[in-house]
Structure 1
């Protein structure tokens, strides 16, 4: 007797497709749940996720400390040093050539004079609500089609009987 639902090849393929859709939607939409808001240089508290955009001259000045010229640096503020610098725990950077690289070194001391713009990473509530709605719809769709597959036998049924119907 054939097995139905998720035990059939069609049912397993449907479940795998549903899982990959959920994973792809999650990864792409989670990235969209954050945005960067302008942040005054003097008011950057510790443990804040920030993006620093460097001036052309600032990128050249940081070349010795970083090993290359950076256009942008993302990371977490370890602490600010008065109004002169910020100690960062970088996570990723973009070079002046446009290459996106992970930061594999320790903390980096960034003088404020090298920074053209600072931004704080914040949760975008509108995008987050949209993400939740899309994930709910995807989950509902996967459950619906899985239950439909189980109820319908998964399409892998064998019919017995002989000949052509009359």
Structure 2
């Protein structure tokens, strides 16, 4: 009998953090849930990070994943934006860690390659393939599609030891 592994994918962001949960049984993937955490941009930074942390904690409690995948911060031309995004990512990772989940980190290029077949795919292509791979997911926002793509990538690339420990 093949074990079923539940994986939570997170696409961190200060304004919108996408999340998505999939189940993997053997090679088969099934959609469980997805959504977007939106924090008020008018709040102080600490309050925004607390909002992300609290929401990820609740999602992990509600959906009981065995493992998680999170997108790495892409360092772009604006170091200040990258630093702020890194703080949002840190809040999400801390929540995942405190939920006792093994967390795998994936570069955006690797996620796109896993889902679309090319590391240079755009957001439209990622969303198209996520809907194709998880037809029961229905409509979703880009951030949720990116998070589901991260969960799919994690399903394909999580170290075997993580999967054994989760089962």
Same fold, judged at TM 0.5 (above): no
**With structure 1 as the length reference, what TM-score do the two structures score?**
0.25
TM, length-normalised to structure 2:
0.25
Report the structure, 1 or 2, having the larger helix content. Answer: 2
Larger radius of gyration: 1
